[in-house]
Amino acid sequence: MNPKLKALQLKARHQVYTLLSGHNLSRLYGEGYDFAELREYQIGDDIRKINWTITAKLGRPYIKELHADRELFVSVASLLDGSLYFGEGNAKQHLHTEVAALLGFAALHGNDLFSGICYTPHDTYTTVATKQPFEIERFTEEIDTAALLHTALPLQEKIDDLFTRLHKPSLLFILHDFLEPVDLSVLAQRHEVIAVIIRDRREEMLQEEGEVEIENPLSGKRMKSTIGRHSIRHYRAALEAHESKQNAHFSRYGIRYVKIFTDEEPAEKLMRLFR
């Protein structure tokens, strides 16, 4: 195994066991014993959950929710193609790997079942539902070593495939840069979906470069262009419109999201989701 990858995995495991102490990835509602909340009855709720004492006092039906007394299924879906190459090198791919490792070891830390699905244009790699560190290490190695330059992933097609693969309700993390539209509504109806947006900061804050030669990391095509004030203004306006529409989509379907840049520590950003 690549020594740098091994160091990354050890770092991720250490951060999980130090920063995540006392925190859980999620709490699902279901048949259990720990009280979660009291709320008004809604059409379709199980009438056996009605708390008749509170209902009699308030004059409206209320039900008692309990935390699920069962294992949590944590799934990490990694969507990979040439878009991970921006500027020099593939820092986005390395960040992708570190985030996947952190989420995998966090699942183990919570004694939950972990499964990983890695989509590339050439292949799909999946792990079994597991509590074994080896599977997480193998999964992150697949992400880190995938040859992605000059490849393009049919994003929505893979999202639809993901729906057919995950049969049990899961805490589902989807890792991508989300620079193109994608519909996660069907997944959100079955799973608790969290979008992890992985980007290079320069993708959002273009700088004036003058005349440059640009290579498309997806297709490999080269072209000469001028990156000036007008083109930057047009690019930022298009990006802001995309982000606004995307965030509205996330909000509508109850999808949480976090954006992590390549110059940030991912563990700190992910911690905000777990608190």
**pLDDT tens-digit profile of 208-263?**
777 878 888 888 898 888 788 888 899 899 999 999 999 999 999 999 999 999 99
Residue with tokens 């740098």: 4
Residue 252 has a pLDDT of 94
Concatenated DSSP letters for 180-217?
S----HHHHHHSEEEEEEEE-GGGTS----EEEEEE-T
Closest CA to 100 of 42, 16, 180: 16
pLDDT tens for 94-137 read 999 999 999 999 998 888 899 999 999 999 999 999 999 999 99
Better-predicted residue by pLDDT, 46 or 184? 184
Q: What is the CA radius of gyration of the chain?
A: 21
Residue 254 tokens read as: 């109850």
Q: Check if the beta carbon of residue 254 is closer than 8 Å to that of residue 263.
A: no
User: What is the model's pLDDT at position 32?
Assistant: 43
Picking from 275, 267, 271, 255, the residue whose alpha carbon sits closest to that of residue 101 is: 267
Boundaries of every domain in the chain: 29-67, 71-274
Higher-pLDDT residue of 165 and 87 is 165
In CATH, the architecture of 71-274 is: 3-Layer(aba) Sandwich (3.40)
Q: Which residues contact 28 (CB under 8 A, 6 or more apart)?
A: 67, 68, 70, 72, 169, 171, 192
Sole residue written with tokens 């994003």 = 155
Amino acid 29: pLDDT:
41
Condensed to tens digits (0 to 9), the pLDDT of residues 37-83 reads: 667 887 777 777 787 777 887 888 887 765 554 568 899 999 999 99
